[in-house]
Amino acid sequence: MATSSFPLLSFQEFLTGSEVEKRAVAQKLYNAFHTYGWVYLQDFGISKEEIAEMFAMSKKYFERPLEAKVRDTLNDAETNQGYTPDGAEANGGTDHKEKCFNLSVNVLQALAMVMDLDMNYFSSALAKADPQLRLLYYMPIERSIIESAGHARIIPHTDFGLCTLLFQDNVGGLEVDPFHTGEFVPATPIEGTCVINVADLLQRLSNDRLRSTLHRVTSPPLEKVGSDGMLPARYSTAFFVHPSADVEIDPILRDGEAKKYESVNAGKWRTMNTAKNYANILGPDGVKV
């Protein structure tokens, strides 16, 4: 089985174990998020078959003609739904979305346990949430293009919500720079796992105790590159967990700690970041006219 430089954790005992077992998993999760902002989770309550079905649906979606897909192009940063040239956010995966949502609430509840927050803190913050299941398709492309300056399959970024659940196929190319030093480490695909990363709002809420990880997608390992220098297609699915629009994210301080971030409104934060990410297609106001 492939291994990675990042912690790999079974979530089983958090889902079905005793209070003591739950707490032990929660602490490991917190430690991974504190040190790396990144964890591989195993036994998280979504079956291999369900994940395979999600990838099959994604493949079918992207195989449709471009004209059909562009009809659903993202046109409003506040709604933040639609096809974009980099990938797509599509409906039709409700079942999976619900499962991913339950998993994210569990993961956040585990963190709440260690952060001494009310156990319902995150389920309340997500009560009217509109999380997004993003289906990503990276088309086959020449390696020399991806590796030229300023190019990548997805450029280095942090995610801007609370956390992200990520399912990737076995192609590879996802890389993480946990310490923001410019040193990217492969986040190798590991069968039967999903990756969970901390995103900006959780970093702000924890006053930097949890790390929002810089990541990118670039060329996979050389053995995956064709003799013609072409990178194979790559599919992944990201599930972005974001609080309800009316929630204020104000850093939770420990005794004597200085506040590192101003409070932000989650709804405005999401619209602002979506508008910024898609400025090319939405224009400066975040709405296509």
Interface residues with Fe ion (CB under 5 A) are 159
Nearer to ligand AKG, 122 or 235 (CB): 235
Nearer to ligand AKG, 29 or 238 (CB): 238
Token pair, residue 241, equals 């967990």
Nearer to ligand AKG, 215 or 270 (CB): 215
Cβ contact 207:260 at 8 Å? yes
Cβ contact 205:29 at 8 Å? no
Residue type, 12: Q
Apex 71 CA angle, 70 and 74, nearest 5: 70
39 binds, among ligand AKG, Fe ion, none (CB under 5 to 8 A by kind): none
15, 152, 154, 252: residue in contact with ligand AKG (rule CB under 6 A): 154
d(C-alpha 107, C-alpha 109), whole Å:
5
Cβ contact 218:172 at 8 Å? no
166 binds ligand AKG (CB under 6 A): yes
Nearer to ligand AKG, 109 or 219 (CB): 219
Nearer to ligand AKG, 202 or 217 (CB): 217
Nearer to ligand AKG, 69 or 134 (CB): 134
Nearer to ligand AKG, 28 or 134 (CB): 134
Of 199, 237, 197, 235, residue with least CA distance to 99: 237
Minimum separation from the CB atom of position 217 to ligand AKG (A): 5
Q: Which residue has the tokens 């790559």?
A: 234
d(C-alpha 133, C-alpha 116), whole Å:
29
Name the residue whose CB lies closest to Fe ion.
Answer: 159
**Among 54-62, 90-98, 166-174, 265-273, the segment contacting ligand AKG (CB under 6 A):** 166-174
202 binds ligand AKG (CB under 6 A): no
Minimum separation from the CB atom of position 22 to ligand AKG (A): 29
Minimum separation from the CB atom of position 23 to Fe ion (A): 29
Of 59, 51, 280, 32, residue with least CA distance to 176: 32
13, 159, 175, 200: residue in contact with ligand AKG (rule CB under 6 A): 159
Site string for ligand AKG, 106-145 (x = CB under 6 A): ----------------------------x-x---------
113 binds, among Fe ion, ligand AKG, none (CB under 5 to 8 A by kind): none
Contacts (CB under 6 A) with ligand AKG, residues 236-265: 236, 238
63: buried, middle or exposed (CB in 10 Å: 19+, 13-18, 0-12)?
A: exposed
273 binds ligand AKG (CB under 6 A): no
Token pair, residue 172, equals 């590879």
Packing angle between helix 48-63 and helix 94-114, nearest 10 degrees?
Answer: 130
Token pair, residue 148, equals 């030229």
d(C-alpha 198, C-alpha 209), whole Å:
11
d(C-alpha 39, C-alpha 58), whole Å:
24
Residues forming the site for ligand AKG (CB under 6 A): 134, 136, 154, 159, 166, 168, 174, 215, 217, 236, 238
